[in-house]
Structure 1
Amino acid sequence: MTTALRHGDRSQAVRVLQKNLNAQGAKLNPDGDFGDETEKAVRAYQLKVGLVADGVAGEKTLASLAGGDCSTLLRNADLVNAAQRLDLPLASIYAINEVESNGRGFLGNGKPVILFERHVMYRQLKTPRHEGDDAAELQRHADQLANINPAIVNPKPGGYAGGTAEHQRLAAARLIDDTAALESTSWGAFQIMGYHYQRLGYSSVQDFVAAISAGESQQFDAFVCFIETDPALFKALKARKWAEFAKLYNGPNYQRNLYDTKLQRAYERHSACGCGQELAA
């Protein structure tokens, strides 16, 4: 994975970046020092091509400069529209996108980033769905599957393989129960669990997965819906209570990964740059 270049960096890679930006119309001194002018040039380029204008030359920006395909990537307009939709400062949207996204929604092979949760699969299999379902029989069947294939069905979390191997785990789970398997997987850049599909307005988990698989814009839209449909989460974000937001979204161990601190710092950085007003105009 490409190392992101950002304000304060000094390296030969920054020099190459500056030269590539100059080829796109910037007028930088290619001195290898990522200062204010280089950050402005990165934002200007990102805005020109439609990428999220965060001033950081990450994997997507560097790939775009190299002529890569950006058709499925998150667009700056998506963030601007979300800020208007949620009636929030654009800097808040930039902050949650920067911190809560894993940076990309797709793997190198074009498949969405996922994580299959075997303990959720166990839970979904033993949960009655229809009138007349026998809860005891569903429990027995789930326990039987857990004994036969504990890597795919298990009361306890774990067994993660990461990357493309997660799709292999999912494929095995779909042979058992397609709906339960898709519901038991977290999807895309924001890792939204499939079982939230109804709350987010999708007619089925299959429709949710189809949308998530279409592009990062669709993944971000699902994330915005996730915030909209959680009153406590939305209230914390509106008030910029970052610790409360992080606890609700990331779980009780949010402090271990400094999610609240990262959100606060990202918000301050994007607010200070003044880009919110310019990009929303």
Structure 2
Amino acid sequence: MRVLRLGDTGVEVRELQQQLVRNGWQGKVDGWFGEATELAVRAAQQRYGLVVDGIAGPKTLETLKAGQRPLKLLTLQDLQRASEALGVPLASVQAVNEVESRGKGFLPDGRPVILFERHIMYRQLHAAGRDADALAQRYPAIVNTARGGYAGGATEHMRLGQAISIDADCALASASWGAFQIMGFHWQTLGYGTVQDFVRDMHDSEGHQLQAFVRFILADAALHKALKARKWADFARGYNGPAYKENLYDVKLARAYDRYAKVPA
């Protein structure tokens, strides 16, 4: 589903405007995402308790169609709480949410978005005293010294299920969870009692997924310092690794922050 924003045109923008009309907007349905449409999107997001950014992504479109906000979706209040906990401007959290999250924390069937990492599964099994090499030979798609094997979407849960049949705790620790892609093996650092507790929390809501992100940042002094100082290159390097430059994460974060900082909370 295309993400619609200021300046876009076409049939999908017209459909968005029609949804806005059904929700009480009295603007013109012309297929152009102008300032009037952006204001209408912001008003609808405010009304339904969504993140207010004027961008019509899957969450906004889904809410407009249903006429109510699905309970698991991230709210502006969630972002405000994260801002207070981290001691940073709301615009910083909004920028990170836009650039560093997957956009949505749940699949259409209600399960959390995940990505299973077979090389982490190898590492976790080895640390648990299992014969990781033998298991890698038997299940190379699930246990491997090399990254890869990704299937994406709901199929990642099938891969996770296969890994759980080998070792449940190692498997759960070997996937990244939710909108902010927090790896399961961080469960103890984040203050959870068990990896199972962490996974249950990731099933709850995008708000809880954001809370896990906040815990992750607070546990890393360098990352927290970079975020507070808005040193986007340092933050992107710490969060995404050295390949952050290839995806221009630092540039995207800086631009998103500047955009959100100009808009009253």
Secondary structure of residue in 2 paired with 1:210:
helix
Match of 2:154 in 1: 164
Shift of 1:202: 0.6
Match of 1:20 in 2: 19
2:219 to 218, 229, 242: 229
Match of 1:56 in 2: 55
Gaps of 5+ in 1: 129-137, 277-281
Q: Do structure 1's residue 239 and structure 2's residue 229 form an aligned pair?
A: yes
Identical pairs, percent? 55
* Counterpart Cα distance in 2 of 1:167 and 1:24: 36
Output aligned runs, 1:134-173, within 5 Å.
138=129, 141-173=131-163
- 2:85–2:214 contact (8 Å) kept in structure 1: no
Let me know the Cα RMSD of the aligned residues.
Answer: 1.4
Match of 1:134 in 2: none
Output one character per residue of 1:225-246: Cα deviation in whole Å (capped at 9) or x when no partner. Answer: 1111111001001111111100
Match of 1:133 in 2: none
* Counterpart Cα distance in 2 of 1:250 and 1:9: 29
Equivalent residue letter for 1:7: L
* Counterpart Cα distance in 1 of 2:264 and 2:25: 18
Output one character per residue of 1:142-198: Cα deviation in whole Å (capped at 9) or x when no partner. Answer: 111111111111111111111111111111111111111101111111111000001
Q: Do structure 1's residue 80 and structure 2's residue 57 form an aligned pair?
A: no
* Counterpart Cα distance in 2 of 1:275 and 1:146: 53
Aligned residue pairs total 264
Output one character per residue of 1:251-276: Cα deviation in whole Å (capped at 9) or x when no partner. Answer: 1000101101110111111112x232
* Counterpart Cα distance in 2 of 1:143 and 1:31: 61
Match of 1:268 in 2: 258
Shift of 1:32: 2.1
Secondary structure of residue in 2 paired with 1:151:
coil
Match of 1:216 in 2: 206
Match of 1:135 in 2: none
Secondary structure of residue in 2 paired with 1:154:
coil
- 2:48–2:69 contact (8 Å) kept in structure 1: no
Equivalent residue letter for 1:82: A
The higher radius of gyration belongs to 1
Q: Do structure 1's residue 182 and structure 2's residue 181 form an aligned pair?
A: no
Gaps of 5+ in 2: none
Q: Do structure 1's residue 45 and structure 2's residue 32 form an aligned pair?
A: no
Task: Single out whichever of 182-191 and 156-165 deviates more from structure 2.
Answer: 156-165
Task: Single out whichever of 87-96 and 30-39 deviates more from structure 2.
Answer: 30-39
* Counterpart Cα distance in 1 of 2:49 and 2:228: 26
Q: Do structure 1's residue 199 and structure 2's residue 189 form an aligned pair?
A: yes
Output one character per residue of 1:3-48: Cα deviation in whole Å (capped at 9) or x when no partner. Answer: 1110011223223322322332333222222122211211111011
Shift of 1:69: 5.5
* Counterpart Cα distance in 1 of 2:78 and 2:208: 9
